[in-house]
Amino acid sequence: MAGLDPDVAVLLDTMRASGAPPLWSLSVAEARQQLAAATAQLAPEAPHIASEDLLIAGDGAAVPIRLYCADRNGAGPMVLLIHGGGWALGSIETHDAIARAIAAGTDATVVSVDYRLAPEHPFPAGFNDCVATLAWCDVQRLPGQTLVVMGDSAGANLTAALTLHARDNHGPRVDAQILIYPCVDLTTSPPYVSRAQYGGGEYFLGQQDIDWLRGMYLADTADTGNPFVSPMLAEDLGGLPQALIITAGYDPLCGEGLAYHRRLSEAGVPSRNLHFGGAIHGFLSFAGALSSGRDALARIIDWLAAIPAR
C-alpha cells in the first residue's frame, strides 16, 4: 500500500501539534465550530461566481439553499451538492469553495442545500430536505440539462440514498451521482477492514467520531437497516445513475466505498472509482493544503464535463 502523501503527513502533524481535541469529545456546538474553522483555513481556492441564498418549500419546514450560477445557457449540468459533516456538522459555508469551484469549472448551476442537522433533527429530517431540494432542482433545470447529485462523507450517504429514493418513487430522473469517501453502511459492525486499520483516530476521522455522529443521526437504532440510511443494504442497486466514487487509502470508510463501487458495477451501473492511496478522509475539503484534494477536484470537474446533455 502507498504511504501517506507527504503533504498529508505534514497536515496530520500540524493537527496533532495544535492540540485540537477529537470531535467526539466536544459538544455539538464546539465540533461545528472546529470543523468550520478547519475548512475555512484549508478549503480550495474559491472562484468568484454569482450566488443567491433562497428558501424553498420542504417537508413541513422551509429549506435554505444557495444557488451558484456560472452560466445559465444550459451548457453545464445542474449539480445538487450535499455537504458532509456526519449529518450533524457542516453547512453551506463549509462547502462554499467546493461549490464555487464546481460551478466555475463546468459552467454548472450548483444548488447547495443546508439540510436540517442532527441531533436537533435526526433522520429522516435532513434526508427529507434533500428529497425536497432534488424535486426543486428537477423543476428548475433547463430543457436538456443533466441533473447530478454530489456529496462527500455523510453527504455522499445522503446522495446514494437520494438516488435510491428517486428510482423507487418514479423520479426525478438523476443522470449521475458523485460519492466522495462515502459512508454507506451505518450498521454497528460493518465488515470492512479499513474501519479497524484506520479508525483509531490518527488519520483525522476515527471510529469513535463515526459512532458519535451515527448516534446523533439515528434516534432509532432500528433505522440502520433502512436502505435510505445504509444504502449498502439495498437488495438491488440496478437502475441507479452512473457513479463516480472517490476513496482515500487512509480512510476508515474506504472499504465500504470500494464495496459500493463493486456492487454498483455488478448491478450493471456504470461506476468509476478514483482511489487516492495516500490521502485521508476529508481531503477534498482540505484541497487548499493537499495536492490530492486539488487533483480530485479537477478530476470531478473533468468527469462532470464529459456527461452528455440529455
pLDDT in tens, 76-95: 899 999 999 999 999 999 99
Give the pLDDT of residue 72. 55
Cell matching residue 107: 459552467
Q: Where are the alpha helices (DSSP H) in 59-192?
A: 96-106, 125-140, 154-168
Phi-psi region of 181 (alpha: psi -120 to 50; beta: other; left: phi over 0): left
Give the pLDDT of residue 269. 98
Cell matching residue 288: 487548499
Give the pLDDT of residue 70. 74
Report the SS3 class of residue 110: strand
Give the pLDDT of residue 60. 80
Give the pLDDT of residue 73. 60
Do 184 and 231 form a contact (C-beta atoms < 8 A)?
yes
Cell matching residue 115: 439540510
Give the pLDDT of residue 276. 98
pTM: 0.97
Give the pLDDT of residue 221. 80
> Taking the C-alpha atoms of 211, 288, 247 and 101 in order, what is their torsion angle to the nearest 10 degrees?
110
Q: How far is CA 307 from CA 79, 148, 175, 273, 298, in A?
A: 12, 10, 9, 16, 15
d(CA 114, CA 95): 10
Give the pLDDT of residue 79. 97
Strands 63-69 and 50-56: antiparallel
Our measurement of the distance from residue 57's CA atom to the centroid of its chain's CA atoms, rounded to an integer in Å, reads: 23
Q: What are the pLDDT tens digits along the chain (310 aa)?
A: 679 999 999 999 999 999 889 999 999 999 999 999 999 999 999 999 999 999 999 988 899 999 999 765 657 899 999 999 999 999 999 999 999 999 999 999 999 999 999 999 999 999 999 999 999 999 999 998 999 999 999 999 999 999 999 999 988 999 999 999 999 999 988 889 999 999 999 999 999 999 999 999 998 887 899 999 999 999 999 999 999 999 999 999 999 999 999 999 999 999 999 999 999 999 999 999 999 999 999 999 999 999 987 7
Strands 109-113 and 147-152: unpaired
- Topology of the domain covering 6-250+277-305: Rossmann fold (3.40.50)
d(CA 82, CA 90): 10
Report the SS3 class of residue 244: strand
Sheet with 147-152: strands ordered across: 50-56, 63-69, 109-113, 78-82, 147-152, 176-180, 242-248, 271-276
Give the pLDDT of residue 295. 98
d(CA 70, CA 100): 9
Give the pLDDT of residue 74. 56
Which residues belong to the active site? 153, 251, 281
